Amino acid sequence: MTGKTPRQIVQHLARRLADRVDAASLDFPLLPRDIADSQDPTMVQRGEPRRLTAGAEPRVGWLVVPPGAGSGGHTTLFRMMAAARSRGLRNTLLFYDRHNGDHERNVRVVRESWPWLECDIEGVGSDLSGFDAVVASSWQTAHVAARRRVPGQAVLYFAQDFEPYFSPRGSEYALAEDSYRLGLSTVALGEMVAGRLHDELGVDAHTVPFGCDTAVYHPLPSAEPRAGVIFYAKQGNDRRGFRLAVLALEHFHRLHPDEPIHVYGDTPAALPFPVTMHGSLRPDELNRLYNRVVAGIALSFTNISLVAEEMLAAGVVPVVNDSPLSRADLTNEYAAWSPATPMAIAGALSETVSRRSRDDHARAVAASVTTGSWEETGGSLADIIRTEIPGTAIHGTATRGAVPSLAGGSRT
């Protein structure tokens, strides 16, 4: 270990110890008994679909891993649940906690971070009895749903991304791929996911479109001219391009040392340029911050990040890594597409902040967003759930109020 700093020595020893005790196995998201297999003939012998509970309101269990505050994927799913409730479905959030953590703490996180979500919350049982339909929300919960479903039950899989891409090619990649072959009725969020399922796996899916909460993200009157750029930091999520964005911002700062740089989400330490850290923000707070800046970094190497269109709705030009995956669901003419290199991303930011009439341009950017609401997306999903449950009519209009705006709720 000659030449290493004390910190590097400690890191090296910690890694060796972790390898010796197989600490990485703690990261595997499934219990062995919950791993399903599309080649197992018992996976498809589930009986004829039928209504399993009494009463006017069909019961739907939404199967999730416990969320952290502000989780974007959970926020989208909870919007779907709100829309389903407005259309006469009775929701229960079912936690699948592979490590058997603190259930009451997990409940508090949901109640405090998403106070608008009205549903029962339970841990998943040894089977999924008591529900007319179950909706899996990730590749691991799709395996759980396939293993624990009961005969006659409608089981759906709400796929917000093509989740094999979350892992290197290997065991988890293969199990994530197989989650789409387990006989669940898959509903893809957007064209990218539907296209990957069809082209790579030969799986056809229902498709529902992305929404955008323009009640929250919109231009505000301001006496201050826009200046600078913004970045949503997700350090532990490599597909969101954190390291690439930091390199790009370092180069951008050299080009424009007077332009402020704002960071929200995570609060990374020791960035090599001046920055204003905002930490976790409520959506209404984030919209106010968006209204102060000119451009933002919105990288995603799988499905398009919701951040890109939220920025657009608030008048911010998002710089997005150019790929067919991203372009499948973001067609706005004001998005700045960039090769995924630090200098290219910095150049796109530079071009945007160098534009004259920044505020006029921001108004045009915001006016370009015509995406439908998340309530419309959730209504489409609720209708698909109802078609999967025999004997339940489709409600064409909301019966209990609209999906709430997130102005005071959790961030997407």
What is d(CA 27, CA 5) in angstroms, rounded to the nearest whole number? 28
Beta carbons of 402 and 375 less than 8 angstroms apart: yes
Provide CB contacts within 8 A for 75, sequence distance 6+: 114, 406, 410, 411, 412
Q: 229-367: which CATH topology?
A: Rossmann fold (3.40.50)
Please tell me the predicted confidence (pLDDT) of residue 304.
Answer: 95
Q: What is the pLDDT of residue 400?
A: 39
Per-residue pLDDT of the chain (412 residues; tens, 9 = 90+): 557 777 666 666 656 654 564 445 557 789 999 999 999 987 655 667 889 898 889 999 999 999 988 888 999 999 999 999 999 999 999 999 999 899 999 999 999 999 999 999 999 999 999 999 999 999 999 999 999 999 999 999 999 999 999 999 999 999 999 999 999 999 999 999 999 999 999 999 999 999 999 999 999 997 789 999 999 999 988 999 999 999 999 999 999 999 999 999 999 988 999 999 999 999 999 999 999 999 999 999 999 999 999 999 999 999 999 999 999 999 999 999 999 999 999 999 999 999 999 999 999 999 999 999 999 999 999 999 999 998 775 544 333 345 555 544 444 4
pLDDT for 13 equals 65
And the tokens for 385? 């759930």
Cα 78 to Cα 65: distance, rounded to the nearest angstrom: 13
Euclidean distance between CA atoms 120 and 90, whole angstroms: 9
Torsion over CA: 19, 25, 26, 28 (sign): positive
Q: What interhelical angle do 242-255 and 342-353 show, nearest 10? A: 50
Fold of the domain spanning 30-211+374-388: Rossmann fold (3.40.50)
Q: Do domains 30-211+374-388 and 229-367 have the same CATH topology?
A: yes
Query: Long-range CB contacts (< 8 A, 24+ apart) of 321-327?
Result: 321/241, 321/345, 325/192, 325/196, 325/301, 326/192, 326/300
**In the chain, what are the domain boundaries?**
30-211+374-388, 229-367
Task: With CA atoms as reference, report the closest residue to 217 among 282, 169, 173.
Answer: 282
Residues 314 and 276: their CA atoms lie apart, in Å, by 20
**405, burial (CB in 10 Å: exposed 0-12, middle 13-18, buried 19+):** middle
